Amino acid sequence: MGNLIDFFENIKISSFCNVISAIGVFDGIHNGHREIIRRARIQAEKEGGKVLALSFLPHPRQILTPDNPPQLLLPPDERVRLLKEAGADFCAFINFTKQAAQMSAEEFLQKLTEESRCRISGICVGSNWRFGQGGKGNRELLEKFCREHNWSFNAVDELTFENKIISATAIRHAIAAGELDCAEKMCGRKAALYGKVEKGFQIASQKLAAPTANLAVSYGVLPPDGVYGGQVKLDGEIYPAAVNIGVAPTFGNGLRRVEVHLIGFAGSLYGREICVELLAFLRKERFFSSPEELKKQIAADIEAIMQNHCLQNS
């Protein structure tokens, strides 16, 4: 079935001993995930070793429940960046295929031992993490395996926020419900949308003098329809942005889309991959009787966004 593990970078770590493997899906890199990496970091420093973060690609639910896959919060490269920011020295992806899903927990651990390209001396996971065929691998089995191999083992209890377990699923639900502050508290950063800029209808630039980037969202969860204040990091600059999510009832064709107006940006974004951070909800979408009325509202939206952006970055 090929290699179980693909390293994200062409790195040589075979000479490193005492590698602590932090394992999890790690979609969203929320506060619970960062706690797992932090605990792995503590153990690695005790042993004079390194931290290897092992994630999964694709998300297991994309294979196990292909008719109902999750909307992922982060692209793989951003997952790697945030894992390293959290304290991982190296990152790799476990290839989650149909064949991998059928492996027993014991087979999975044996493959992990054989293909990690380093000498593992410990494992750190969330206390409720399940693995292997049918999710039969659990904390007790993993602890037994580590004991038999003379590895350290850390099971990190789940963190909570407002009596809710912090998870990628909880964050998705919060964003979809428009609870951006709640999602931010669980995730440790603003909700964001990732995708490629595609050709739109060019109505905003022709009739409203406010050109927008039509974003085909690949990662991130859409909040309820409306206008949001946001920001886009582009070529080392941060641009405040007006983000319209919905059907654009004044000029739209009834299709839901995401349009981003970068305030102060001049140039083409077509074909570029961008990340849009959502800072605050401004107002609901509504129909305007004329382009002039909508232009006035857009000017008011931009003014509110600029004031909010200054507060966010003060």
Bond before 66 cis per omega within 30 degrees: no
| Ordered per-residue pLDDT tens for the chain, 314 residues | 457 777 666 555 555 568 999 999 999 999 999 999 999 999 999 988 999 999 999 999 999 999 999 999 999 999 999 999 999 998 989 999 999 899 999 999 988 888 777 788 999 999 999 999 999 999 999 999 999 999 999 999 999 999 999 999 999 999 999 999 999 999 999 999 999 999 865 554 445 456 788 999 999 999 999 999 999 998 889 999 999 999 877 776 678 899 999 999 988 899 999 999 999 999 998 877 777 888 888 888 888 888 876 556 64
**DSSP at 54:** E
Reported pTM: 0.90
> How far is the CA of 56 from the CAs of 87, 91, 146, 227, in angstroms?
18, 11, 21, 34
Alpha-carbon distance of 258 to 200, in angstroms, equals 10
